[in-house]
Amino acid sequence: MGLKEMTSAGTDILILIISSIALVVFGLIFFLIILWIVKFAAIDILELTTSGDMVVLSAAVLTAAAMIGSISKKS
């Protein structure tokens, strides 16, 4: 294994780490935005009496569905 292949592998690993961190950060931001929307709609607009755990669960399900749905490739 030459120096060129090792440098290429190191670059690939570095890009993988950076993209993984970016994906986690964007996922958290997206989750917080969805959480705010669900809370605003349920409590402020519809005036429902919901517990915090149900609001978080709803936001988590919506976030997961949106992220999984965005993976599908369109032909």
Interval 52-71 mean pLDDT: 88
Token pair in block for residue 56: 């978080």
d(CA 65, CA 52) in angstroms, rounded, equals 20
Judged against a pLDDT cut of 80, whether residue 69 lies above it is answered with: yes
Judged against a pLDDT cut of 70, whether residue 75 lies above it is answered with: no
Local structure of residue 42 (DSSP, 8 states): I
Query: What residues have CB less than 8 Å from 31, skipping those under 6 apart?
Result: 59, 60, 63
Q: Which has the closest alpha carbon to 62: 25, 40, 37?
A: 37
d(CA 3, CA 10) in angstroms, rounded, equals 10
Give tens-digit pLDDT for 2-59: 667 778 888 999 999 999 999 899 989 999 999 999 999 988 888 888 888 888 999 9
